[in-house]
């Protein structure tokens, strides 16, 4: 039976001031380039008179030892006081550059970022528009995709991070044609400010960062088997993967004018889908510090899911106890994926 750690002292700081009242809540790392979020309930009605909105909030997990770096740093976006507690919602600083209220990048023929890569564009925009009087989003660790994706020719108006999310989906490292690897954004906590980074998917052959079993950290699991795409349709052609034993599952690719390139993209997109056929959720007593994209191994009796998997999202709840839930393999769905 997995045993929980007995040392658990989660702490909240608002504008670098520790909150000494009882706290409970959750921190969610949703993955799929979404903003990380903290929800916390503070049992201190006297705080409701304070001006909490838009202040910096830091959450220290302190699970097993005292942390020197926050587990989450964000900005308070919503405060709901009552006679017994205060409910606070916070988002990581990427919320400043995403959505309808985020800093907008209006790219025109005369004002654009032609020639800039995704990383260079975000570094320039955040430096000029966001980190003006203070550093909200750290940029010291921001690199780029390989291959590079250029903003040349991109036109229109949308929040800066939404440009990045849209374009990074088009970048694939297909050096290994049997396991194409995609890229994603993440936030890495730092002493000064949370750092925006670009990560590449790790190969499933990578040595796992952690192993879970019922005798070591695994409390429970459930999984959903989905039918990955096995057929891709493109102009004047179709790519079919294997014998399709689970039935026909069709995807359409973003086409180019080159038929050979279209077939190459069709093969790549089907293989990406084939790489992660399961959606697995595990509850654990360890792995709180695992980053998105980490490779973990499940040692369970189900042959279908025993083996290596990628961490695609993480949710931590805290209060009277502490729970960790990890989602593996299939990227969480965003509503915006279905809105053009």
Model confidence over 212-261: pLDDT tens digits? 999 999 999 998 866 666 677 777 677 777 655 555 666 766 666 666 77
Omega cis (within 30) before 147: yes
Q: How far apart are CA 175 and CA 53, in angstroms?
A: 47
Indicate the pLDDT class of residue 333, thresholds 50, 70 and 90. very low
The reported pLDDT for the residue numbered 60 is 96
What confidence tens digit (pLDDT) does each residue in 89-130 have?
999 999 999 999 999 999 999 999 999 999 999 999 999 999
Structure token pair of residue 213: 């079993």
Which pTM value belongs to this model? Answer: 0.83
Indicate the pLDDT class of residue 336, thresholds 50, 70 and 90. very low
Query: What average pLDDT does the segment 148-154 reach?
Result: 97
Structure token pair of residue 115: 């020639």
The reported pLDDT for the residue numbered 45 is 67
Above 90 in pLDDT, residue 3?
A: no
Indicate the pLDDT class of residue 317, thresholds 50, 70 and 90. very high
Nearest alpha-carbon partner for 2 in 197, 283, 190, 208? 283
Contact 32, 88 (CB under 8 A): no
Contact 197, 142 (CB under 8 A): yes
The reported pLDDT for the residue numbered 285 is 94
Q: Is 200 exposed, middle or buried (0-12, 13-18, 19+ CB in 10 A)?
A: middle
Indicate the pLDDT class of residue 4, thresholds 50, 70 and 90. very low
Question: Domain-by-domain residue ranges, the chain?
Answer: 11-95, 103-200, 229-271
Mean residue pLDDT of the chain comes to 87
């Amino acid at each position: 039976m997995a045993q929980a750690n007995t040392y658990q002292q989660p702490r909240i700081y608002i504008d670098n001031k520790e909150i000494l009242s009882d706290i409970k809540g959750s921190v969610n790392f949703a993955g799929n380039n979404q903003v990380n979020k903290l929800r916390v309930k503070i049992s201190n009605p006297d705080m409701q008179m304070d001006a909490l909105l838009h202040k910096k909030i830091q959450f220290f997990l302190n699970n097993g030892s005292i942390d020197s770096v926050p587990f989450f740093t964000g900005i308070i976006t919503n405060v709901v006081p009552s006679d017994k507690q205060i409910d606070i919602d916070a988002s990581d600083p990427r919320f400043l550059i995403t959505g309808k209220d985020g800093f907008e990048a209006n790219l025109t023929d005369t004002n654009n970022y032609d020639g800039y890569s995704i990383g260079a564009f975000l570094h320039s925009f955040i430096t000029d528009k966001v980190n003006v009087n203070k550093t909200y989003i750290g940029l010291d660790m921001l690199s780029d995709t390989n291959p590079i994706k250029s903003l040349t020719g991109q036109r229109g108006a949308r929040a800066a991070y939404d440009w990045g999310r849209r374009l990074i989906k088009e970048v694939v490292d297909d050096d290994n044609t049997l396991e194409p690897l995609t890229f994603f954004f993440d936030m890495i906590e730092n002493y000064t400010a949370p750092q925006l980074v670009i990560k590449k998917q790790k190969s499933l052959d990578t040595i796992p960062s952690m192993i879970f079993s019922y005798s070591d950290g695994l409390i429970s699991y459930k999984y959903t088997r989905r039918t990955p795409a096995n057929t891709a349709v493109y102009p004047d052609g179709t790519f079919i993967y294997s014998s399709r034993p689970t039935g026909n599952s069709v995807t359409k690719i973003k086409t180019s004018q080159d038929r050979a390139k279209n077939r190459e993209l069709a093969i790549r997109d089907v293989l990406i889908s084939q790489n992660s056929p399961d959606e697995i959720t595990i509850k654990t007593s360890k792995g709180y510090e695992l980053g998105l994209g980490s490779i973990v191994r499940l040692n369970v009796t189900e042959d279908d899911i025993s083996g290596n998997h990628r961490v695609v999202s993480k949710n931590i709840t805290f209060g009277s106890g502490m729970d960790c839930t990890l989602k593996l393999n299939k990227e969480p769905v965003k509503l915006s994926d279905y809105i053009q």
